[in-house]
Structure 1
Amino acid sequence: DFSEGLARVKVGNKWGFIKEEGGVVIPPQFDEVYDFSEGLAVVKIGNKYRYIDKEGGFVFNIEFEWAQSFSGGQARVKFGDKYFEINKEGKIITQGREDLFPVKIGDKYGYIDISFNIRIEPQFDEACDFREDLAAVKIKDKWGYINKEGEIKIKPRFAGCLSFSEGLAAVSEFDKKWGYINKDGKYEIQPKFDMAMDFSGDRAEVKIGLTRYYINRNGEIIKEIIDIEHEEI
């Protein structure tokens, strides 16, 4: 079947494209090909996916682990261990996220920019999104925080942590409760909670025992959270 004036053709074990008037327009050279959509087609070479135009030229100098045909000006791709939505320029659609993204390359995590350039070399055992210009990363069994240059700003010492929100991050050191640190790594609210969530505005949800509360930025309880069970009528 022809799509946008071109159809897939297989010669031997390679794929290319022919035009409706007849004749090969893109010689068979790919291991897999998909129909053209919005002027571009996904092709597979070995175990990598790329996009070509109707002359058979590669667009975007990027190889993906998987790629989807374009629809509505965007497509879903896999790079490293992560899925992204890209636009027709081959750039990541950020969807409100900051402009560096954690990906696993080999057996370590690093960070790429919206054009899939590696900005922070893979060196971490786990890595989270940047929020408020800092990202939580894991080195061996400890979590800390880096800046967008890849420099460690808060030394890894935590068993668990959340991203920064409203200038504070919930953290838990080994064998300790959860508390909140500032961007200098100093405690603003001492560890005393069994669970702690992000601050939203001037309050955050925490748990002491089995009871959930809202606290203020001084760590003071301002309200107990009561779950209201609705009986079936």
Structure 2
Amino acid sequence: MKKIFFLYLLTLFSLNSYTQNLIWFIENDKFGYAHKTTGRTVITPQFTFAGYFSEGTAVAAVGNHLLSSKYGFINEKGKWLIIPQFNAAGNFSEAKARVQQNGKWGYVNKKGIFIIQPQFALCYDFKEGLAQASVKNNLWGLIDSTGKFIVQPEFYSITDVFAGITCIQKNITDKWEILDIKKKTSIKTNFTRMHAFADSLAPARDTSNKWGFVNTHGNWVIQPIFTNASSFSEGLAAVEKEYGSWGFINKNGEWVIPAQFDRPGYFFKGLALLEKGSDIVYVDKEGSLVFSFKR
């Protein structure tokens, strides 16, 4: 159960931002925060769940068990800015945080006031003024800051937005398309899977199940030679070598950090959170260990 829970955390929060100095860690099944350069505990482990700091606040939960915990938001001193009251929540992005109440998701501001009422089956963080959202039947679209669908919820899958571009898959068996949201035009591809564009490149999987990176026209920039890949962040992207370990490449497709990790991560402000054996590690862009704890 702990393993599944931690994998969920890596997936959910690896793309969110954190403050310059605070990084979360787990001790005795409780979340706390340490100073990233000294390793000194800044906020004592006390939460059943906690996320990265973003825009001066972080999501945190308290309760006897994770599933029954209530979620709120803390400041960098561990004080509650929004008291725990939600069934689930994500971090702040563009001054809005997604929260779940009575089985539906909506968005609150930093005062805890709903600015988009709970109405979605699921939704994600805002980027460039748009957010992925689903209302029913597991179909996805993109909403604006008022909660209005700009791209209608009619896709099996849709990615985050980069420079007005998103990637869409209409049905589970369909090949992916690259959609220009403003122009309302799309480029059909032969890719069987895509992740979001970042740094002008998107991970894409070809028909032989190999991953590479394409530009916004759908042309290969880094050839598909990897068994899995994640989006770029701060000039580096996590890629998998032969269905084994993960490392990082640059935009030329060159290895910068050799494959050695069990799960991928993303860089933000110079650090990436990764899993290696029984350790959870923060590494810098040279691959050097900055901080670690046991999962």
Fold shared per TM-score above 0.5: yes
- Pairing 1:10-25 to 2, within 5 Å after superposition: none
- State TM-score, norm by structure 1: 0.57
Deviation of 1:125 after TM superposition, in Å, equals 0.5
Structure 1 segments of 4 or more deviating over 4 A? none
Aligned to 1:204: 272
Aligned to 1:109: 176
Q: Which has the larger radius of gyration?
A: 1
2:200 maps to 1:133: yes
2:269 maps to 1:195: no
Aligned to 1:39: none
Deviation of 1:79 after TM superposition, in Å, equals 3.9
Q: Tell me, in whole angstroms, the C-alpha distance in 1 between the residues paired with 2:243 and 2:168.
A: 30
**Letter aligned with residue 231 of structure 2:** S
Aligned to 1:156: 224
Aligned to 1:144: 212
CA RMSD of aligned residues (A): 3.0
- Pairing 1:73-112 to 2, within 5 Å after superposition: 74-75=148-149, 77-82=152-157, 97-105=162-170, 107-112=174-179
2:293 maps to 1:225: yes
**Letter aligned with residue 201 of structure 2:** L
Deviation of 1:169 after TM superposition, in Å, equals 0.4
Give yes or no for contact 2:140–2:157 (8 Å, CA) kept in 1: no
Query: What secondary structure does 2:218 align onto?
Result: coil
Give yes or no for contact 1:105–1:122 (8 Å, CA) kept in 2: no
Q: Tell me, in whole angstroms, the C-alpha distance in 2 between the residues paired with 1:122 and 1:207.
A: 33
Match of 1:168 among 224, 236, 260: 236
Q: Tell me, in whole angstroms, the C-alpha distance in 1 between the residues paired with 2:158 and 2:212.
A: 25
Structure 1, 213-222 or 102-111: larger mean CA deviation: 102-111
Q: Tell me, in whole angstroms, the C-alpha distance in 2 between the residues paired with 1:216 and 1:156.
A: 26
- Identity over the aligned pairs, expressed in percent? 28
**Where in structure 1 are there 5+ consecutive unaligned residues?**
1-64, 85-93, 228-233
Deviation of 1:153 after TM superposition, in Å, equals 0.5
**Where in structure 2 are there 5+ consecutive unaligned residues?**
1-138
1:14-66, CA deviations, whole angstroms, 9 ceiling, x for partnerless residues? xxxxxxxxxxxxxxxxxxxxxxxxxxxxxxxxxxxxxxxxxxxxxxxxxxx99
Q: Tell me, in whole angstroms, the C-alpha distance in 2 between the residues paired with 1:80 and 1:189.
A: 36
Point out the structure with the larger helix share. 2
Deviation of 1:73 after TM superposition, in Å, equals 8.2
Deviation of 1:221 after TM superposition, in Å, equals 0.8
Name the CA shift for 1:218/1:79 in 2 (closer, same or farther; >3 Å): same
- State TM-score, norm by structure 2: 0.46
Give yes or no for contact 1:98–1:129 (8 Å, CA) kept in 2: no
Query: What secondary structure does 1:103 align onto?
Result: strand
Deviation of 1:215 after TM superposition, in Å, equals 0.7
Q: Tell me, in whole angstroms, the C-alpha distance in 1 between the residues paired with 2:236 and 2:226.
A: 15
Point out the structure with the larger strand share. 1
Give yes or no for contact 1:195–1:208 (8 Å, CA) kept in 2: yes
Match of 2:282 among 201, 204, 214: 214
**Letter aligned with residue 159 of structure 1:** T
